Structure 1
Amino acid sequence: MASKLDTKTYLGNVINNELIPTPTTRHSINPATGQPLYEVPVARKEDLDAAVDAARKAFKIWSSTPFSERANLLLKYADTIEHHRNELEQLLTSEQGKPLSLSRTEMDCGLTWLRAFATMEIKDEILQEDDEKTIYSTHPPIGVCAGIVPWNWPILLGLGKLGPALITGNTFIMKPSPYTPYCDLKLGELAMTLFPPGVVQVLSGDDRLGPWITEHPGIDKISFTGSIATGRLVAASCAKTLKRYVLELGGNDAAIVCEDVDIDKCLPKIATLSFLNSGQICMLTKRIYIHESIYDTFRDKMVEFTKENIKTGAGTEEGVVVGPLQNKMQFDKVQNMYAQIPLQNWKPALAGTITPTPQTGYYITPTIIDNPPEDSRIVQEEPFGPIVPLLKWSNEDDVIDRANALRTGLGASVWSKDITRAEGMARRLEAGSVWVNSHFDVDPRVPFGGHKESGVGMEWGMEGLKHYTNSRSLWVWKRVFE
């Protein structure tokens, strides 16, 4: 194993365990500096065709490889990644912008997820058995799966799609975001050293590559993480060939804080999970409903905590929590939301600032909006940036209705010392993940996905793994020829 991973050179896309160069290259931007990063390939249709052809050939062997062998390779892959984790973490901060401490957390999660998937075998279930027959429920792999990976968690969500696909016997093609292609390409290079040709491939491209993948008749399943608008396009594109898909889309998570909480104990987590990764996580606390009897105290303490503890700066700086926005498109969107503050007469409890020179880094500091109207954009839309509204509530039924009012339903939480009451409220919330006295807890063994427009299907857990398989009933008659 090489002692150091070259993270500055990208010789080509990973196709059939070879690095295949392309006539055209492109580069992304370091969001902390505005400076260009390294040249990466731009895949052509023929590159995708070659990858799909290799994946289909590899599937015949990989799908019949025993679970124990697939698991062993997945564990070796995790060990190989861990050997190079320092270089990959530095690269992740350079391309994504997140603080180095969060890059380490993402790497920790990616390794944990891979190692967990290696233990998760979908076994046959006997539905009926008697003297005449045995009826099994079996789960054969689908075939060639593609993962379309977002720019906010390129390592975790890349490996979080790769692992379930491989352990269930599928071959896998990863498409990184054009904004963050670097770590995923290197993960592909490391996979080349372990997996048979065609089992793991990575294609970097421009905005044309995604539609080519979703429309390709040789790809059997898509796992997509991204915006609701793009998710609709993915679903429509997959429908053309009736391929399977799982969509993990945007959220606008509500956190309901009851009047009996210990503010000093719960506030640090709520505040941090409002601004982590510069607010660029789909499952952060995006709407914080605070009981009116503690509202003023909670608001003031959250402002104080944010000022003292939520530092903004380059991800390489010590103690930074809020790095730059990842790209200019997102920076412009969040900047537009900030521009609504004076136009809509929203009252900032904490007024953020926007860097006057975005060409040197896409920096926006945290903003807390004090009790805006329920129909405000800041409440109704997911800003995906470091800005959060605080809202008052007094009636339990009313706040549940408000939390459930949107077409999103990814995550939600209830905070209270009264666990029975909090669990009762949590069971009424319309979201794929609901927490009591926490938020944004995830685990590879726990299914993860959204309700309503926040997604279709589930990732992770045994339920998520089954989305990488077909459900097959197998009838075995024993006494037909007696």
Structure 2
Amino acid sequence: MSLTVERLSGIERTRFFIDGKWVQPRGGVLREQTEAATGDVIGVAALGSESDIDAAVRAARRAFDDGPWGRSSAGDRAGALRRFADALEARAGDTSTLVTRENGMPIQFSQQVNGGLPAVMMRIYADVIEGVTLESAQASMVGSTIVRREPLGVVAAIVPWNFPQALAAFKIAPALAAGNTVVLKPSPETSLDAYVFAEAALEAGIPDGIINVVVGDRDAGAALVAHPLVDKIAFTGSTAAGRQIGAEAGRLIRPVTLELGGKSPGIFLEDGDLGTLLEGLDGASFLNNSQTCTTQSRLLVARSRYDEVLDALADYAKTHFTIGDPLDPSVTLGPMASAAQLERVLGYIEGAKNSRARLIAGGGRPHGLQKGYFVEPTVFADVDNNDRLAREEVFGPVIAVMPFDDEDEAVRVANDTDYGLAAVVWSVDEERALRLARRIRSGTVGLNYYLLDIGAPYGGYKQSGLGRELGGPIGLDGYLQYKSIYASAAQLEN
């Protein structure tokens, strides 16, 4: 919608960060940002047009082609990343609070992933780039070959609203460490917080054009993906959007990393410990109000334990959570990020109510919380794996539970999905759980808990994505390309 800034109060992000400067938008569209817990407007942000995206990409291109960043030493880039980390860390408190207001993430968790994790990522990749060998010589049939790893060029980093700071850092840190330049396109749903990266970059002395930030909608994203001067696309978001981006990247013969959706299974074996399951649900199924792509939203339970587990899950959903203002440290479940996301989640719940599934907890909006975008933690039993609730990503606090008779059936149902991002196996016999984990077609699997390890590669099978992020040097590889220089044998002596 088109708005005038004068009629709005609160935070104003009406300029973009391009080529080291704050610039006026070339388009004229502004967007109101609401607070997830209240629905009230807390700010306004400009949305970038195709010409704004073009200006940002061209600035990044000039900085890469003509600037010193890509040709600087690993040590120089590491030093800049550490200064960048310090500047981000100094803003961590305000950043985490702002993201919580935008998307409803409970504040204590936001302090970790939006406040703290971006600085951690910058320091990790500062260490990584100092520790890797980017050029080496090896003998060839007639002389020697110098094998180099060089930056790709301009990286388009497109990030969603659920973990806006962390997911941006997952891309910015390795991209800059490798010597690339970046155009960051944040989601409109969290339109206010992304400019923290720009402010920190200025304070850290990151050269002009190395980081550019333009908030935009799908049209802006499409313009960025298709821009002829972009060399690499790094995207986190829905599978539907990822499919379109992947198709365009294929047409352009352009490297792409896609971290997409999930419909993650949990397998609770007959020897599973119920207390362990309940302790682990916060991280496995309800992290960030279940607005997490790894959410364990299908729970497969051994038939001999089925009724017991259902009773425990129903009680857990009804009594475990403190629902309310996510800025309150005592709150453990906040709202959905937007009115649109609230309607999406409620739509899935209503659809499941009209299926053969049995509602055993939740199923609507919490009593007394009519303002904001709140949903009760909801559990459906007897869900068929062909039901919509079992096939599609809800992105809200809704769990589908179904029984199984043996391990083979559990693995078959777990793998009977278009996705493959995460899974959890619950068993007191970890060797047995490990055997099952090896059979599950998923990029990550937890044994009796689920917690992302930023030191290990992260990504999905099937329609959950392409490529891997994190994992130190593994995450760096996606932002480098190889070059072989055929040289004389004398190079081996140097």
- Indicate the residue corresponding to 2:7 in structure 1: none
- Indicate the residue corresponding to 2:24 in structure 1: 21
TM-score by length of 1: 0.93
CA distance in 2, matches of 1:260, 1:355: 34
In the TM superposition, what is the alpha-carbon distance from 1:272 to its structure 2 partner?
4.7
CA distance in 1, matches of 2:200, 2:460: 32
Matches within 5 A, 1:365-444: 365-443=376-454
- Indicate the residue corresponding to 2:126 in structure 1: 118
Letter in 1 for 2:16: N
Candidates 167, 170, 175, aligned match of 2:177: 167
CA separation of 1:345 and 1:131: change in aligned 2, threshold 3 A: closer
- Indicate the residue corresponding to 2:108 in structure 1: 101
Higher alpha-carbon deviation: 116-125 or 377-386 = 116-125
In the TM superposition, what is the alpha-carbon distance from 1:300 to its structure 2 partner?
1.8
1:212-264 deviation per Cα after TM superposition (whole angstroms, max 9, x unaligned): 10010011111011111111111122234322111111001111112222221
CA distance in 2, matches of 1:268, 1:57: 51
1:344-370 deviation per Cα after TM superposition (whole angstroms, max 9, x unaligned): 132122123226999831111100111
1:41 and 2:79 are equivalent in the alignment: no
- Indicate the residue corresponding to 1:335 in structure 2: 346
CA distance in 1, matches of 2:173, 2:311: 44
1:63 and 2:63 are equivalent in the alignment: no
Higher alpha-carbon deviation: 186-195 or 162-171 = 186-195
1:414 and 1:437 in contact (8 A); partners too: yes
Candidates 70, 83, 90, aligned match of 2:97: 90
CA distance in 2, matches of 1:151, 1:458: 20
SS in 2 for 1:294: helix
1:280 and 2:280 are equivalent in the alignment: no
CA distance in 2, matches of 1:402, 1:255: 10
- Indicate the residue corresponding to 1:3 in structure 2: none
1:320-350 deviation per Cα after TM superposition (whole angstroms, max 9, x unaligned): 2221111222212111111123311321221
CA distance in 2, matches of 1:66, 1:19: 28
Higher alpha-carbon deviation: 289-298 or 154-163 = 289-298
Letter in 2 for 1:181: S
- Indicate the residue corresponding to 2:148 in structure 1: 138
CA distance in 1, matches of 2:177, 2:367: 48
2:103 and 2:337 in contact (8 A); partners too: yes
1:58-80 deviation per Cα after TM superposition (whole angstroms, max 9, x unaligned): 11321111111111111111111
- Indicate the residue corresponding to 2:253 in structure 1: 242
Aligned residue pairs, count: 473
In the TM superposition, what is the alpha-carbon distance from 1:184 to its structure 2 partner?
0.6
Candidates 455, 463, 470, aligned match of 1:460: 470
Higher alpha-carbon deviation: 320-329 or 125-134 = 125-134
CA distance in 2, matches of 1:133, 1:354: 72
Letter in 1 for 2:45: V
RMSD: 2.1
Higher alpha-carbon deviation: 466-475 or 397-406 = 466-475
SS in 1 for 2:487: strand
- Indicate the residue corresponding to 1:228 in structure 2: 239
Matches within 5 A, 1:126-275: 128-129=138-139, 133-193=143-203, 194-275=205-286
- Indicate the residue corresponding to 1:4 in structure 2: none
1:272 and 1:310 in contact (8 A); partners too: no
1:58 and 1:197 in contact (8 A); partners too: yes
CA distance in 1, matches of 2:367, 2:314: 23
Candidates 465, 472, 485, aligned match of 1:474: 485
CA distance in 1, matches of 2:211, 2:294: 28
- Alignment gaps of 5+ in structure 2: 1-9
2:362 and 2:377 in contact (8 A); partners too: yes
In the TM superposition, what is the alpha-carbon distance from 1:99 to its structure 2 partner?
1.1
In the TM superposition, what is the alpha-carbon distance from 1:50 to its structure 2 partner?
2.0
CA distance in 1, matches of 2:301, 2:49: 51
CA distance in 2, matches of 1:325, 1:78: 29
CA distance in 1, matches of 2:267, 2:137: 42
In the TM superposition, what is the alpha-carbon distance from 1:288 to its structure 2 partner?
1.0
Identity of aligned pairs, percent?
31
- Alignment gaps of 5+ in structure 1: 1-6
TM-score by length of 2: 0.91
